[in-house]
A and B are shown apart, each in its own frame.
Chain A
Amino acid sequence: MNFNDYVFYVLAAILLFAGLRVITSRNPVHAALHLVLAFFTAAGIWLLLEAEFLAIALVLVYVGAVMVLFLFVVMMLDINLDKLREGFWEALPIALPVGILMTLEMVMILGSKHFGVDRVAAPTPHPAGYSNTAELGRQLYTDYLLPFELASVVLLVAIVAAIALTLRDRKDSKFIDPAEQVKVKRADRIRMVSMPADVEIPAAAETEGKDKA
């Protein structure tokens, strides 16, 4: 085993642990944080696979943005765990055998018999100057142009749908348009009133003023 292998096993162990904690931890915030850890570790494994762009994009997008919003929601919700866990034991007698059966089937077929190391040729390592990012970009904008553009349409639809489903015009909103605020001229706020300068001053005040002067 060389150094890379050790790193892989350490990362894989952390990943498995984090993944397990995601589904077993009682506190949803802990679960979400473990998911963050899982993403981060997965990014590490991808780095070992020379997929540095994907690894960093995973951290940037999932850890940096998606999970933050996710945590927001989880932190704000007051989730009653007992209610969520209701019916767990009743479903178990059916769920457990089905789950075990499915796992066994998957292991039988997806095990090393069909996807083992000997079945799949190891990719040749790339030369030092090879840029994963540039290569990916080239692929996306040439061979995979259509799915790439479609993905952008899907994202657009997601935005439109989210806004269409949630945006409500509030009647009691006290929003002030800053653009309008900036446009304010002096004349809108101050009214210049012309006061006659020669107002009659009461005699007493006049003498007082003179005294002070």
Chain B
Amino acid sequence: MIAFMQNLLGPAWPVVWTLVKIIAIVAPIMGAVAYLTLAERKVIGFMQVRMGPNRVGYFGLLQPIADGLKLLMKEIIIPSAANKTLFLLGPVLAIAPALAAWAVVPFDVDMILADIDAGLLYILAMTSVAVYGVIIAGWASNSKYAFLGSLRSAAQIVSYEIAMGFALVGVLMCAGSLNLGKIVVAQAGGFWQWYWLPLFPLFIVYFISAVAETNRAPFDVAEGESEIVAGFHVEYSGMAFAVFFLAEYANMILVCMLAAIMFLGGWQPLLDVAPFNMIPGFLWLIIKVALLLFFFLWFRATFPRYRYDQIMRLGWKVFIPITLVWIIVVGGLMQTPLAYLFH
């Protein structure tokens, strides 16, 4: 089949094949995002002893589709004094990096779109670009609330990026590579070989930073409903708003995916023995990501919102020092007979 298509398309084949692969990655992500919203409402409903959506389809299974349709039908209102080009560019800049980062994520052995050497750096670069969507949206809306929200959000993202980056430095010290596939391979052999154990402080810092980085509760002051209505996307409606929504959830899945790859062994099975290693690798990855996503929802249902100065304090004065110290500890221990702990 593939050979036939190859003949048919000739030189255009690589482009087409890459496009097919991109669609094969993006379409499931979009589906996952849609059903993550449903899962979120259901889980939080359960935790707060409510029902959650249950009118559209069985258990509300068609709810995300109904929501999507509703947003599609709605008009995109552009505020009269807004900068039109930038206003529309904002959502695009938010979603593009969130999707582009997936290019280097390995789903299984050799199941990867672009197997580049500096994969980890690429992901960090892409996620750091995502902040422009927020800033531009806030500024172009010509609204105080939006601008304030975007400033908060951008400062928060930039701050937590540092802690996140340092946490990942620990991983690449252990794995000795920036290639995500190699990082996963380095964690082969059961869950005690995964990096969450030797890099436990970094894992915790990474995960909490990830929550802050995606502007999720309890760090969601950027859109804190109670004070600045909905933050940077307060002026957006219809599909423009939906795109921000998509970007936020896609980012959530992405950071969980990264956490799974960096600290939880990616596609590696829990134990490398009979029943476990018969399950395909990408299923393991999905299970791990789902588990981490559940934590995101759990946080949102339980924790009260942080105050803004406390968020910044946590990032700069707690997380960054912790990561720095642990990197030094790891570097030091790697020179001792204990180096086997960090392979």
Contact = CB atoms under 8 A, between A and B. Distances in A.
B116 to A, nearest CB: 7
A80 B124 CA distance: 36
A133 B158 contact: no
Nearest to A76: B151
Chain A CB within 10 A, most for which of B117, B151, B154 = B117
A71 B118 CA distance: 28
Q: Main secondary structure on chain A at its contact with chain B?
A: helix
Nearest to B139: A75
Contact of B132 (A36, A75, A178): A36
B131 interface: yes
A99 B132 CA distance: 35
A4 to B, nearest CB: 14
A63 B128 contact: yes
A133 B178 contact: yes
A81 to B, nearest CB: 16
Contact of A52 (B118, B158, B309, B313): B118
B48 interface: no
Contacts of A68: 131-132, 135, 154, 158
B116 A65 contact: no
Interface in A2-54: 29, 33, 36, 40, 52-53
Interface in B107-150: 116-118, 121-122, 124-125, 128-129, 131-132, 135-136, 139, 147
B310 interface: yes
Contact of A57 (B116, B121, B136, B310): B121
Contact of B118 (A36, A53, A63): A53
A178 B131 contact: no
B158 A69 contact: yes
A152 interface: no
Nearest to B85: A30
Contacts, number: 64
A132 B121 contact: no
A56 B122 contact: yes
A85 B132 CA distance: 28
B129 A133 contact: no
B293 to A, nearest CB: 25
A65 B158 contact: yes
Contacts of A175: 309
Nearest to B116: A52
A69 B154 CA distance: 9
A178 B318 CA distance: 12
B161 interface: yes
Contacts of A178: 310, 313
B139 A60 contact: no
A133 B136 contact: no
A67 B161 CA distance: 15
B128 A59 contact: yes
Interface residues of B, number: 25
Contacts of A133: 117-118, 121, 178
A64 B116 contact: no
A72 interface: yes
A139 to B, nearest CB: 16
A176 to B, nearest CB: 9
A53 B178 CA distance: 10
Contact of B151 (A53, A57, A72): A72
Contacts of A75: 135, 139, 147, 151
A56 B123 CA distance: 9
B125 A132 contact: no
Nearest to A40: B129
Interface in B214-246: none
Contacts of B309: 175
A65 B128 contact: yes
B251 to A, nearest CB: 14
A68 B161 CA distance: 12
B131 A56 contact: no
Nearest to B155: A72
Contacts of B139: 29, 71, 75
Contact of B161 (A29, A56, A64): A64
A55 to B, nearest CB: 9
Contact of B117 (A29, A57, A69, A131): A131
Contacts of A71: 135, 139
Contacts of B147: 75
Nearest to B132: A36
A146 B6 CA distance: 53
Nearest to A63: B129
Which among B125, B132, B154 has the highest number of chain A CB atoms within 10 Å? B125
Nearest to B162: A65
Nearest to A69: B158
Contacts of B154: 68, 72
Q: Which 9 A-B pairs have the closest CB atoms?
A: A64-B128, A59-B125, A60-B125, A56-B121, A56-B125, A131-B117, A133-B118, A75-B139, A52-B118
22 contacts: A33-B86, A36-B132, A52-B117, A53-B118, A59-B129, A63-B128, A64-B131, A64-B161, A65-B128, A65-B158, A68-B135, A68-B154, A71-B135, A72-B151, A72-B154, A72-B155, A75-B135, A75-B151, A133-B121, A133-B178, A178-B310, A178-B313
